[in-house]
Structure 1
Amino acid sequence: MSTILRIRPPAGDAVEGDAPTGAAAPDSAKQYIERVVNLIPTEVIGVYLVGKAGIQARFADKTDHSQDLFSETTYWIGWTVFCFLSVIAVRAWATSDQNTPAEKPAVAIAAISFLIWVYSLGDVFKVVEIRNHAIWDSLLAMLLVFAWTLIVPLFYRAK
């Protein structure tokens, strides 16, 4: 199996468009887009959205849910943690091979990207409070998305 979601190719692998040895290759728009797409954990985002729809459907009515096995907050926290750990596991697997270890920075960036994406939606962050203060803010969510999108390519470039 190839390392399909790596940002940096394993040592010794030539990449289309690589410059000759000793010369720096300029990033093309195609290579940049491919790297950005590889940083978005779409394989888990789809799963997250299905679970989100299920949780929202279950708790959409105003009936008493006190007899439910778990509360809405518990479902949100559990589902978000499960999907977050799934991002880490899937990305570690997809960026490694038998002779190539997982690309830890790419795994970390995908995990952080997932958390920022979930925060931007609200979801679990709307139902969880810390010391009676909401931890979700729509302005902060928007700014985090824009800042992360701008910053990641600046500090993590494929070599």
Structure 2
Amino acid sequence: MKRTFLVLIFFLGIKIQAQNSNINTKNMNIEQIYTGCLAQGAYYIESNGEAVVIDPLREVQPYLDRAQKSNAKIKYVLETHFHADFVSGHLDLAKKSGATIVFGPTANPKFDAYIAKDGEILSVGNLKIKVIHTPGHTMESTCYLLIDPNGKETALFTGDTLFHW
């Protein structure tokens, strides 16, 4: 079962990364913000006036600008794990936007953050995001499954979970 699940994560993760493009529909907007020099990808997801940022880059102004342009409120900053290879902008983004920082189970941050439970569902606009605890790369590693308004599983954001498969 575990191997099958990891294979699923692997293929879904590659699909998301390989697209390297934005998805824009009536119900949602997904934008990848990628920094080639760090090989670091962040995601801005928006639906019905609310937004979430996954693994934000250090420079947070682009997320704030995107939200302001579409009159959206950044509700959550989701971290897939603690990052040792780059400086995340989660603290600055939360401070400037009022968003809640979310980590997966077993995380023990030294700052204010919400620790989500495995299987917990977060709501963002018309979308749902399912928290999936995937320890391996780090013990708090977490994937986020995006579910559209029709209940269709649309995208899986894996962070660095694939490194240790």
TM-score bin, normalised by smaller chain: under 0.3
Structure number having the greater helix percentage: 1
Structure number having the greater strand percentage: 2
User: Taking CA–CA contacts closer than 8 Å with sequence separation of 6 or more, which of the two structures ends up with the larger relative contact order?
Assistant: 1
**Which protein shows a greater Rg?**
1
What is the TM-score with the length of structure 1 in the denominator? 0.25
